[in-house]
Amino acid sequence: MAKMNIVFTTSEATPLAKTGGLADVAGSLPHALKRLGHTVTIIMPYYRKQIRASGIKTRSLKRSISIWIDGRDRQASLHEARVNGLRFILVEQDDFYHREGLYGPAGGAYSDNLLRYVFFNRVALEAACLLKHPVDIFHCHDWQTGLIPLLLKTQYRHQPRIARARCIFTIHNLAYQGIFPPSWLHRLGLPADYFHIGCFEFYGQINCMKAGIAACDRITTVSQTYAREILTSEYGCHIESFLSDHANKLSGIVNGLDVENWNPRTDTSIATNYAPGKMQGKRHCKVTLQRKLKLADDAKTPLLTIISRLVEQKGVDLVLDCIPGWLEKGYRLVVLGSGDPAYEAMLTRLAKERPEQMYFYAGFNEGLAREIYAGGDIFLMPSRFEPCGLSQLIAMRYGNVPVVRATGGLADTVANYASAKQYGTGFTFACATPAAFRSAVDFAVETWRKPAVWQRIAGRAMRRDSSWDASALEYEDMYKTAAD
């Protein structure tokens, strides 16, 4: 296959800046595409604080780009970082991107996010015009890059470096569409005629994701089940009929994982390395974690774990409903997460009541996340909807057997032990009710008490191929058909 010049535009990517699964995907899929022989450049904002904290070295490209936005010319400078042979181009504009959070303060959103990302989209296209070779594919991710397909087809259609590029738009989470009041329109420096029902307009509001869906050549989402679900009123977040109009260009490609980075054999953040069939190390990780978190040490008790954004999507209410019963039964629970302050307050209170049984860390902490993936027995992910989910993939890789709601990518990646005893890699339940979740967790705990059976389930989960290999080939194929 002819080698392609692919540009990823994204609002976050590992290892430079991360709030969730989008960063994992944007930082790891390019490596898999590169292994297939393609050139991939990632363009993202230069979040000075977070990138500095990542320890990745950057250098100035000594290029600046001027964009008319919000009634004036605003400058962006371009920087570059190289990570394992992959090139990142970073858009520096400190007023926009040198802040406490990527998208907002804890639990909130910056009021000028529309300006921040429209500016990013426009600079990203200008930066792509400066690349040495013409771009074949723009791969855009989520609403923060939704304007790129539209601008590419309109204002940039005569730019020689990018005019022939095809544009893929990946929906990582339809619940975040980038919706803003129309009063922002005149501040964006964009033609007013973009604001119509077939494109940027949504019940009188601005909708960035809609612009991406309308103007791109192919839409993908991150699992096949989610690709079907988003065409229904239950999961379609009010744009299901608009999406259905574009369903001929929609498909689902399940996310992979950076299996080098997430590897219990080599992970330097965990107490002892381990592998399927050699699980003593995992037992040591559990003991070490429990001691560190001052939980009562008892080999006969399962350690339940959660690592999640604390938002309604993730079924945190179901967890809260079940916690008192679990603690009564003597289970141990570790929760790592941040998000809705009300959820954080409730988890803090519950953990304070039974510190020997439950630990809650409010915040984002990758090192602790790794220790929890490695030390946990059972990983809980009762999502109300889940486009793909990477946490359950990581948990399986670390032999932390997941209990998940059978929705979206969770349904596509976790094989239910209850219905497939020979193949099961976890436990699934159907209804988003505390009763259904509780009984799935109880069944998992019952199964955990049978060590030989449990070891087989954990072994299968750890051996599951969650690498990018198969999905990168699917993307490659799709890029090619988009270009034909």
Q: Are 371 and 292 in contact (CB under 8 A)?
A: yes
288 binds ligand ADP (CB under 6 A): no
Q: Give the nearer residue to ligand ADP in terms of CB position, either 152 or 335.
A: 335
Taking alpha carbons only, the member of 4, 76, 85, 80 closest to residue 43 is 80
Please tell me the distance from the alpha carbon of residue 228 to that of residue 221, in angstroms, as a whole number. 10
78 binds ligand ADP (CB under 6 A): no
Q: Are strands 72-83 and 39-45 parallel, antiparallel or unpaired?
A: unpaired
Residue whose tokens read 């299996």: 259
Q: Give the nearer residue to ligand ADP in terms of CB position, either 330 or 363.
A: 363
With CB under 6 A as the contact rule, the residue among 33, 219, 307, 461 that binds ligand ADP is: 307
Query: Strand ranges (DSSP E) for 186-320?
Result: 201-202, 205-207, 218-221, 250-252, 303-310
Q: Give the nearer residue to ligand ADP in terms of CB position, either 4 or 102.
A: 102
21 binds ligand ADP (CB under 6 A): yes
365 binds ligand ADP (CB under 6 A): yes
Could you count the other beta carbons within 10 Å of the beta carbon of residue 272?
Answer: 15
Q: Are 469 and 32 in contact (CB under 8 A)?
A: yes
Three-class secondary structure of residue 329 per DSSP: coil
With CB under 6 A as the contact rule, the residue among 338, 357, 416, 466 that binds ligand ADP is: 338
Q: Give the nearer residue to ligand ADP in terms of CB position, either 22 or 76.
A: 22
390 binds ligand ADP (CB under 6 A): yes
27 binds ligand ADP (CB under 6 A): no
Please tell me the distance from the alpha carbon of residue 33 to that of residue 7, in angstroms, as a whole number. 11
For residue 482 the two structure tokens come to 């988009």
Please tell me the distance from the alpha carbon of residue 354 to that of residue 15, in angstroms, as a whole number. 36
103 binds ligand ADP (CB under 6 A): no
293 binds ligand ADP (CB under 6 A): no
With CB under 6 A as the contact rule, the residue among 369, 411, 457, 478 that binds ligand ADP is: 369
170 binds ligand ADP (CB under 6 A): no
Stretch that binds ligand ADP, among 316-324, 336-344, 351-359, 448-456 (CB under 6 A): 336-344
Q: Least distance from C-beta 144 to ligand ADP, angstroms? A: 14
Q: Give the nearer residue to ligand ADP in terms of CB position, either 200 or 379.
A: 379
Please tell me the distance from the alpha carbon of residue 479 to that of residue 39, in angstroms, as a whole number. 13
With CB under 6 A as the contact rule, the residue among 43, 135, 394, 441 that binds ligand ADP is: 394
Taking alpha carbons only, the member of 71, 84, 7, 4 closest to residue 37 is 4
Q: Give the nearer residue to ligand ADP in terms of CB position, either 309 or 463.
A: 309
218 has which bridge partners? 168
Binding site for ligand ADP (CB under 6 A): 20-22, 24, 307-309, 336-338, 364-366, 369, 389-391, 394
